A and B are shown apart, each in its own frame.
Chain A
Amino acid sequence: MLHGRLKDIYRDLCKIALIIYKYIYIYIKFLTVRLNKVNWNRWRAMHKISRRDFAKLALGVAITSISSSSIASIGFSRGKRFAMYIDVSKCYGCYACMVACAAENNVPVGVFRTWIERHVRSDGTIIFVPKQCNHCDNPPCVKPCPTGATYVNEDGLVLVDDNKCIGCGACVTACPYGARYKNPVKGVVDKCTFCDHRIYDGLLPACVEACPTGARVFGSLTTEGSEVRRLVDRNPVQVLKPEYGAKPMIFYRDLPEVANL
């Protein structure tokens, strides 16, 4: 009985503390609201939705399907908009793309510009999910870069200028997709470039060229009639961790929920 009463008092005290906390929080929010829009949207969501839903959101399990109309709403302010379409059901885990990428771009051992995740479903089936830099349309990695070494080029590629990078790691921390690494050989930060040295010569990225099943399709979303545009328009596609607001430009088909952590 006493125990129950103590529990009630404790609960009431917690409620009061939470109310006080909320006021302090609103005040702080007011002070810092401009710092990070995604951040506070998340908080707003947190206060509105149930704990269970929030847990899902926090885990990024809720994969958003992107319809063609929502693709049109992505703010392209540039001429071309390079993107990739990856059909997960076509990837059978041969790792040819990883090898081609490492060879093409001198990727040191232990780090990856692209990698293949391997997930085992409860029924025993295995799914392979290719991942890499998403060349996000609202890239969180560019914002904290102090020197402007990380930048967005006119076609939407997110690139790193080796001569400007000081290796502070702010972008590595900011990228939600683990796509960046500090190159142990060069000292600067590295990641997928969509093989910019190839595509502007009319070639395909090395990974796309190496893929034997055509699981990866590369092109410009803003170019009428491009294959990637057609596929993204016609198929139900998903992007990784949409809750971060990064607007990734890698569109997946048949992405398993488990690959979205």
Chain B
Amino acid sequence: MSWPAYPEGYMYPNEFFEPIVWKPIMTAYTTMIAIASGLAILMGLTLILNYKPLLRYLPLMGILGIASTLVLLLGPLADLRRPDQAFQIFISPHIMPSNTYPGISFIAIVAYMWPITIIVFTLVTLLVISADLLAKGGYYRILALGLKSEAEYPSYYRIARILAVILLILGLAWAFYYPGLLFTAESKLMLYNITPLLPLTYTLGALIASIFILSIASILTRIHLDNIMVKIIIVSALSIIFIKLIELLRVSFILSDIPVIDSLMRVMGGIIILTVILLILTVILGLYSLRDIRILPLASFIGFVAVILDRWVYSISVQQVSKTGIAIFPVHIDFVEALPISSLILLFLGLAVILSVILPTRSVILEKVLGGEKL
């Protein structure tokens, strides 16, 4: 019998059987989380602060938010070995610690957060566009949530603003979820915890991803782009660059002589540097976009690619390092793995198109507000 061998002997043979436990679909999943959570944060903040420059995008944010949240869990579902038992997560969730079930599972919490997010996203969106749905008449009135006249709209808008607080909290919770899950995966403690600022990076990345999707959708629906989007992209990209650089400094100055860090740097160092380069490019193009807003989609696209790379590093690359910290596994990506990933993306796009056909993508009443009228 031939044994896989580390320099010091063979260890953890189960790792050799399936080194990458979470497959590349997890990158698509975490990217989809970035889009959904970014949109929830943006929509929540816009409503709470009543921030005029972003008001016109509220219907689009809602539509894209609902579409991305709806498809979210299909990512991990495709990665389950027993998807037929997935319902167990709802009927027997591990959310109360006890002697038999110590601790609390982040995954179980997220499973419950998912329908709540869909409901809140839908309610906020419908409340925001209720006057427009009423104006459309017919069956659309049902979706207007009982709004009788435009005069009632301000109170609907107020309710939307209250719900926006919940949406913001949910958005932040989603943005923090995956880093949180990694931090509690104790066996890879050393791997994940070289970056304790990951929740922050993920939140900022979520903003970049959502602005990218929003800018493309805005162009397609002929809503003009605003400089505030560029500013969000620039500030987020700069912050991520700053965080990545201080983390790299810390790793190279304090942790450089630890073998596990060495292994880690070998699998993720190159991608992190590429991510930083792409983010710098995003900032430069972003600065150009301030003069010519047509460049925004390109700037945000490059930022979006950087976000995907960042997700790849923390969902796939880290798994390449063995539990011993001294061995590195190669990643073999099967062509069949592209199938669930593309289905997830296509489903999201399809849903977004269907919803934008059903629901108004711009709100006349909000445009009036922008024109100077008071709600």
Contacts and interface: CB of A to CB of B under 8 A. Distances in A.
Q: How large is the interface on A (under 10, 10 to 19, 20 to 34, 35 or more residues)?
A: 35 or more
Contact of B105 (A143, A153, A244): A143
Given A152-B102, A178-B15, A261 B325 contact: yes
B8 A261 contact: yes
Contact of B101 (A142, A163, A245): A142
Contacts of A14: 249, 253
A71 interface: no
A164 to B, nearest CB: 5
A148 B94 CA distance: 5
A118 B102 CA distance: 34
Contact of A38 (B17, B93, B189, B254): B189
A151 B186 contact: no
A166 B89 contact: yes
B335 to A, nearest CB: 20
B184 A28 contact: no
Interface in B20-69: 21-22
Candidate in A36, A173, A180 with the most chain B CB atoms within 10 angstroms: A173
A105 to B, nearest CB: 14
B88 interface: yes
A140 B107 contact: no
A176 B186 contact: yes
Given A18-B250, A110-B17, A261 B184 contact: no
Contact of B9 (A35, A54, A118): A118
Contact of B85 (A148, A163, A177, A244): A163
Given A14-B253, A172-B21, A164 B323 contact: no
Interface in B155-194: 180-181, 183-190, 193
Contacts of B247: 21
A112 interface: yes
Interface string B79-90: 111110110110
Contact of B257 (A35, A51, A172): A51
B273 interface: no
B65 to A, nearest CB: 24
Contacts of A39: 183-184, 186, 189, 193
A188 B82 contact: yes
A146 B107 contact: yes
A128 B108 CA distance: 40
Contact of B186 (A36, A145, A181): A36
B18 A181 contact: yes
B254 A173 contact: no
Interface of A: 14, 17-18, 20-21, 24-25, 28-29, 31-32, 35-36, 38-39, 42-43, 51-52, 54-55, 58-59, 77-78, 110-112, 115, 117-120, 131, 138-140, 142-149, 151-153, 163-170, 172-182, 184, 187-188, 244-246, 258-259, 261
Interface of B: 3, 6, 8-15, 17-18, 21-22, 76, 79-83, 85-86, 88-89, 92-94, 99-108, 111, 180-181, 183-190, 193, 196-197, 199-200, 245-247, 249-250, 253-255, 257-261, 319, 323-326
Given A38-B189, A261-B324, 18 more contacts: A17-B249, A21-B250, A39-B193, A55-B257, A142-B102, A144-B107, A144-B181, A146-B89, A146-B94, A146-B108, A166-B85, A168-B107, A173-B21, A177-B187, A178-B15, A179-B14, A182-B81, A261-B326
28 contacts: A17-B246, A18-B249, A18-B250, A25-B196, A25-B197, A39-B186, A51-B258, A118-B3, A142-B103, A144-B105, A146-B94, A148-B93, A148-B94, A149-B88, A152-B99, A163-B85, A166-B82, A169-B22, A173-B185, A173-B187, A177-B187, A180-B14, A182-B81, A188-B82, A246-B186, A258-B8, A261-B8, A261-B326
